[in-house]
Amino acid sequence: MASSLKLVVIGGIAAGMKTACKTARLQPHANITVLEKDEIISYSGCGLPYFVSGVVHDREELFSTPTGVPRTPAFFEAVKNVKVRNRTEAVAINRANKTVEYRNLVDASTGSVPYDKLMLATGARPIVPPIPGVDLANVFTVKQVEDAERIQKALEGSETKKAVIIGGGLIGMEMAETLADCAFDVTVVEMLPRILPMLDAEMALLVEKHLDEQGIAVRTGVAVTALEGEGGRVAAAVCGNERLEADLVILAVGVRPNAELAANAGLEIGRLGGIQVDERMRTSDPDIFAAGDCVECNHLLTGKPCYSPLGSTANKQGRVAAMNICGEDDTLSGVLGSAVVKVCDFAVGCTGLTEKQAKQAGYDPISSLCPMPDRTHYYPGAKGVLLKLVADRSSGRVLGVQAVGPGEIAKRIDSAVAALTMGMTVEQLSKLDLCYAPPYASAMDNLITAANVLRNKMEGRMVGIASSEVKQKLDATEDFFLLDVRSPGEVQAAAISGAVNIPLGKLRAALDEVPADKPVVCFCQLSLRGYEAATILKAAGHEHVTVMDGGVAMWPYETVRSG
Amino acid sequence: MASSLKLVVIGGIAAGMKTACKTARLQPHANITVLEKDEIISYSGCGLPYFVSGVVHDREELFSTPTGVPRTPAFFEAVKNVKVRNRTEAVAINRANKTVEYRNLVDASTGSVPYDKLMLATGARPIVPPIPGVDLANVFTVKQVEDAERIQKALEGSETKKAVIIGGGLIGMEMAETLADCAFDVTVVEMLPRILPMLDAEMALLVEKHLDEQGIAVRTGVAVTALEGEGGRVAAAVCGNERLEADLVILAVGVRPNAELAANAGLEIGRLGGIQVDERMRTSDPDIFAAGDCVECNHLLTGKPCYSPLGSTANKQGRVAAMNICGEDDTLSGVLGSAVVKVCDFAVGCTGLTEKQAKQAGYDPISSLCPMPDRTHYYPGAKGVLLKLVADRSSGRVLGVQAVGPGEIAKRIDSAVAALTMGMTVEQLSKLDLCYAPPYASAMDNLITAANVLRNKMEGRMVGIASSEVKQKLDATEDFFLLDVRSPGEVQAAAISGAVNIPLGKLRAALDEVPADKPVVCFCQLSLRGYEAATILKAAGHEHVTVMDGGVAMWPYETVRSG
């Protein structure tokens, strides 16, 4: 047997521990050392919001195996044959000597450890925006188990029970739900025009509407310019002309890769600030690998670097790194940016490109909106899925799926992931043999229907119009005919001001009520009847007929209830 | 405008109504007539078991639109411009004259209707096994809304509250749950060695175990040879040496395509008895199309005909037929046999080929079993998914996925459908960027983990052994060492007789307790620790080490509880 491999891993959370343990299985005689500057290793950072709210009761659950064994250094030594030195910071990499210098954070002792192969899994750190007052007490980022515990204490000690969350991304959403669950008045402030940049604007608006319905306030297109304190503790956030009272502020404006150690060692850093790696997770030094939140990824649809700091990606990358460290050939060609997040009673998910991102990437995107229940509508418990499908107009290639709503969102996202990975067209997607039974799906699944609607648009059978455009026309009192073909009962429950109601079943007999000389926009609740109406009107000679994408179910603006 | 198309559709349930309505949208001036011999049209046959049990309250829900409008002939005429003649049986097709002869079942009048294009959507009928007593009262098949209502009445009038279900397929399972929900003692009798032939034996066994735990008896490998009556009503089923008391019997042994009308008209019928169609849903007569339960499909993985009588397939086929009827080009290249069914607290799903079917199709299949929670194990509500992944050993191509359990089964099946359709390999599957957040998935999703386990087997890092083989070895008291590396607490809860317990964390220090000269079979609860143990033993010089597929979680035989 060859002399045993010496692997040093810097970082003991997701990618680092995956690489260490997989290497130990591939080469049981390898000498593996993990250096981690913090106390707790191998924990689920993604679980922190649920620990803050008490949904997850015990901090140990965040770093325990499925059978309840805490993943401590002793556990890794005994079970995995991996030595973990926690509270030990790697301070420099000496590539010439192939050593890592470290400092013990408990006793301040220093030392160095030699490597044959080095793995960088240094993770990321939360961005702290440079605004006055971020150093006040009760201003938190959410990264470590200790952060979560500090937030829990602050929750208990809060007097105002008011919180401001700066940043409307994934962590911002999770913390908004968490704090609302803890009976806080929560305001989310997002500098961009909409929350959740993983979604197109009209989809993000639906989530903002849901937050509003849950009593969570949202401010978009405005920045927090200062935090004000009282006795050293935060008391308010200044946000445009507003002063938002809050004795708890969460900074959730994103994370930045910890790439300094790599940069100081002369390794290539990408344009997005992450360590550059190839598809084998090799850095510019063939003996140094990197994975997880500290590296940049390749986006499968743009072919360009992207930053995807997620536990799912970190674990896959860590495995690929281990395989290559041990001389096996394994690659990860890229990511799709798939994500899902729970936002109160909604799930919000996406994969691939938004329509906006697709445009930026040089595609000519076209999209469909499809609101539908997540199973047969007659089966108890059916819940809504509001889905957007994006494709490239010329090639027909599926580019992305976004979905929000109370129904089974993650299922529809995941069902499209292999399709996107393999370059499927919308037509191919519409033929997928997805499984069907009333408790789980409709005979035509949401994805299939969305694909069929998109085919109707791409093949010229249906002309869509975005709800935002309809809203603009209404606001500008443009001369057009807005035709609501729902039943009177549906109209009473939620009407769009300015629309005229002719139920679909009566339309053929009431064609003279639709002015022949005006553009007509048809809509219904979900969109099928709107499309039927457009077909009827076109057959009757109307030339300018469009169907409002997504119907009332995905209308993100105000509706009027009557009767 | 050309003279309007005359389309006649025979059959007004799923495929027929889809073709009629889609054609009406594509060609609003088309003259479309649907002939349906029964009263109720466009109903969800798949919903019948849930209507019997009262989960779905109102018969109208089964044939209403999502907004609650009953899909009656008047509805189709007013809204869709489709004429439906129900209670009207098509009795012959005259291909030379291009007419269909029909008989009105209400007044016995006859007539004929001309067509330019004809669509056959004649569906299927339940197979009635040729055994004495099937004509007794209270012996039912489950096909129409009226069947469901008759069964409801029989449930109310039952004296013994005992039922026998003949057939352990999809409908058999749904009716077993339904009748158990109605407080019946239920016995399912399946002639084949296992229920649910869509699953491999070890997966079907897990479902049989679940049925048993729910108090539903299962008899396999034995046929009902006669039904005995009392006063004209069924009283018992004779099944091998048993006489199963029951005043209600459900026949659920499958359906047979209604292809007689097509055959009598000289159209090609396939070897499986269904109407033969090409990928445009054209029969051997270019003016006659067919779709739904009356046709044979192409299996995407075998390239051979298969029979897939499902609402999901019928709807897709109906749309493709309509497109081609209207001169557009559209194809459906085949199906994967995807299916899902609710069986009490389990969902049971599959797509592609079982290991057995893969062998029959000429592949050299290899598989992995992966029991895992359906989300992060620490998130409340996590439930088990017991998954089997099948691939072709030489090409690495994914061939099938089966999953059973209380967790999110349909999601994992659907996530694999595009992968199977596009010919993905196991390695590609293991890299899918599936979405992740603790409430919805683990960082490494079940499918990803199953793919990684299978890669470990295919790439020679792990040798698996089936639980059935371990059971045989135990029953034959073969000389081998069965090593349980779980914690003592887990062993107390459910032990496999004959196994020796050395917890994984103590294995490295207890290597001398493992006999060097015997084959060793390692296992744990889910399988990761079993694999770790095998790695440790191999590194210590053991040569014959295998890991039991699926661990105790997927051990379908008896376990022993102690302490």
Of B335, B376, B431, the CB nearest to A44: B376
Q: What is the pLDDT of residues A518-539, one digit of tens each?
A: 999 999 999 899 999 999 999 9
φ/ψ of A489, rounded to 5, equals -60, -40
Number of domains forming the structure of chain B: 4
Q: Are residues A115 and A187 in the same domain?
A: no
Same domain flag for A144 and A236 = yes
Q: Is residue B60 part of a domain?
A: yes
Please, is A57 exposed, middle or buried when counting C-beta atoms within 10 Å of its C-beta (0-12, 13-18, 19+)? exposed
Phi, psi of B268 (to 5 degrees): -70, 135
Q: What is the pLDDT of residues A83-95, one digit of tens each?
A: 999 999 999 999 9
Residue A244: helix, strand or coil by DSSP?
A: strand
| B417·A418 Cβ contact <8 A | yes
Please state at what angle helix A409-421 crosses helix A446-458, rounded to 10 degrees: 50
Beta bridge partners of A83: A33
User: Does residue B162 have a pLDDT over 80?
Assistant: yes
Beta strands in B196-232 (DSSP E): 217-220, 224-230
In the prediction, which pLDDT does A213 show? 96
Most distant pair of Cα atoms in chain A: their distance: 89
- Asked whether residue A262 falls in the same domain as residue A239, the answer is no
- B17 touches A at CB < 8 Å: no
**What is the rounded distance in angstroms from the CA atom of residue A16 to the CA atom of residue A9?**
6
Q: How much is the average pLDDT of A206-225? A: 98
d(Cα A153, Cα A420) in Å, to the nearest integer? 44
Mean pLDDT of A295-317: 97
Give the Cα separation of B306 and B294 in Å (integer).
12
Residue B100: what are its φ and ψ, rounded to 5°? -120, 130
Q: Which pLDDT belongs to residue B443?
A: 96
Is A133 a member of any domain?
A: no
B426 and B444, same domain (yes or no): yes
Assess if residue A162 is contained within a domain.
yes
Residue A242 exposed, middle or buried by CB count within 10 Å (0-12, 13-18, 19+): middle
In a domain? residue B172:
yes
Could you list the residue range(s) of the whole structural domain that residue B495 is in? 464-554
Residue A245 and residue A146 in one domain: yes
Question: For position B241, which CATH number holds?
Answer: 3.50.50.60
Residue A1: its pLDDT value, please? 45
Beta carbons of B46 and A434 less than 8 Å apart? no
Q: What is the mean pLDDT of residues B483-505?
A: 97
Q: How far apart are CA A257 and CA A26, in angstroms?
A: 28
Same domain for B10 and B65, yes or no, is yes
Mean pLDDT rounded to a whole number for chain A: 97
| DSSP class per residue in B423-468 | T-BHHHHHT------TTT--SS-HHHHHHHHHHHHHTTS--EE-HH
Q: Is there a single domain that holds both residue B93 and residue B203?
A: no
- The tokens describing A23, both together, are 């290497």
Q: Which of A213, A231, A253 is the last residue of a domain?
A: A253
Average pLDDT over residues A134-138: 98
- Measured in whole angstroms, the distance separating CA A34 from the mean position of its chain's CA atoms is 30
* Residues A429, A112: Cα–Cα separation, whole Å: 54
pLDDT at B134: 97
Kindly state whether residues B381 and B530 are assigned to the same domain.
no
Per-residue pLDDT for A274 more than 70? yes
Question: With contacts defined as CB-CB under 8 Å, which chain B residues touch A414?
Answer: 411, 414-415, 434-435, 441, 445
Cβ–Cβ gap B428/A421 under 8 Å: yes
Largest separation between any pair of C-alpha atoms in chain B: 89
Q: Are residues B120 and B11 in the same domain?
A: yes
**A248 found inside a domain:** yes
Q: Which among A472, A434, A450 is positioned nearest to A372, based on CA atoms?
A: A450
3-state secondary structure of B149: helix
Strands B297-298 and B224-230: unpaired
- pTM greater than 0.95 (yes/no): yes
Query: Which run of H or of E encompasses B7?
Result: strand B6-10
Residue A333 domain flag: no
**In contact, A256 and A125? CB cutoff 8 Å:** yes
Task: Judge: A55–B379 Cβ closer than 8 Å, yes or no.
Answer: yes
Of the candidates B494, B519, B514, B515, the residue with the CA atom closest to the CA atom of residue B504 = B514
List of chain A residues whose C-beta atoms are within 8 Å of the C-beta of residue B441: 312, 340, 410, 414
Looking at residue A113, its pLDDT comes to 98
Yes or no: say if A101 and A112 are a contact pair by the CB < 8 Å rule: yes
What's the whole-number average pLDDT of chain B?
Answer: 97
Q: What is the pLDDT of residue A379?
A: 95
Please report the pLDDT score of residue B72 as a whole number: 96
Q: What is the pLDDT of residues A410-438, one digit of tens each?
A: 999 999 999 999 999 999 999 999 999 99
Distance (Å) from the C-alpha of residue A133 to the closest C-alpha of chain B? Answer: 32
Would residue A46 show up in a list of annotated catalytic residues for this protein? yes
| Interchain contact A541–B (C-beta under 8 A) | no
Mutation target among A315, A435, A448 for the B interface, most CBs of B within 10 A: A435
Q: Does residue A391 fall inside a structural domain?
A: yes
Hey, what are A356's tokens? Answer: 């906006």
Residue B83: strand, helix, or coil: strand
Last residue of a domain, one of B203, B231, B253: B253
Residue A66's pLDDT is: 86
pLDDT digits (tens, 9 = 90+) for B108-143: 999 999 999 999 999 999 999 999 999 999 999 999
Q: Does residue A20 contact residue A34 with C-beta atoms inside 8 Å? A: yes
Query: What is the per-residue pLDDT for B527?
Result: 86
Residue B265 has pLDDT above 50, yes or no: yes
Q: Give the phi and the psi of residue A176 in degrees, each rounded to 5.
A: -60, -45
When scoring A315, A378, A504, A535 by the number of chain B Cβ atoms within 10 A, the one with the most, hence best to mutate, is: A378
Query: Does B80 touch chain A if contact means CB atoms closer than 8 Å?
Result: yes
Query: Which chain A residues are within 8 Å of B44, Cβ to Cβ?
Result: 376, 378, 438, 443
Interface test mutation site (partner A, options B50, B353, B433, max chain A beta carbons within 10 A): B433
The candidate with the shortest Cα–Cα distance to B114, out of B5, B206, B20, is: B5
pLDDT tier at A67, thresholds 50, 70, 90: confident
- Which residue has tokens 């059935």? B468
Indicate if A11 and A118 belong to the same structural domain. yes
- Which of A208, A236, A253 terminates a domain? The answer is A253
Residue B1 is predicted with a pLDDT of 45
- CATH code where residue A502 lies: 3.40.250.10
Looking at the fold, whether B295 and B308 belong to one and the same domain comes out as yes
CA distances from A505 to A358, A485, A541, B41, B558 (A): 39, 8, 19, 18, 60
Q: Residue A209 and residue B406: Cα distance in Å, rounded? A: 33
Query: Do A265 and A92 form a contact (C-beta atoms < 8 A)?
Result: yes
Is A402 in the B-facing interface, judged by CB distances under 8 Å? no
C-alpha B362: how far from chain center: 23
Closest-CA residue to B550 (of B534, B536, B529, B533) = B529
- Residue A51 domain flag: yes
CA–CA separation, B553 and B557 (whole Å):
11
DSSP structural state of residue B220: E
Q: Which residue has the tokens 């998954």?
A: B387
User: Tens digits of per-residue pLDDT, A159-195?
Assistant: 999 999 999 999 999 999 999 999 999 999 999 999 9
Cβ atoms of residues A113 and A33 within 8 Å: yes
Indicate yes or no: CB of A437 within 8 angstroms of CB of B408.
no
Tokens, residue A392: 């490239």
Please name the residues in contact with A463: beta carbons below 8 A apart, sequence gap of 6 or more.
Answer: A457, A534, A545, A546, A547
Are A529 and A550 in the same domain? yes
CB contact under 8 A, A351 and B433: yes
DSSP per-residue letters across B94-121: ETTTTEEEEEETTT--EEEEE-SEEEE-
The full 3-state SS of A274-305, as one line of letters, equals CECCCCCCECCCCCEEECCCCECEEECCCCCE
Q: What is the pLDDT of residue A195?
A: 98
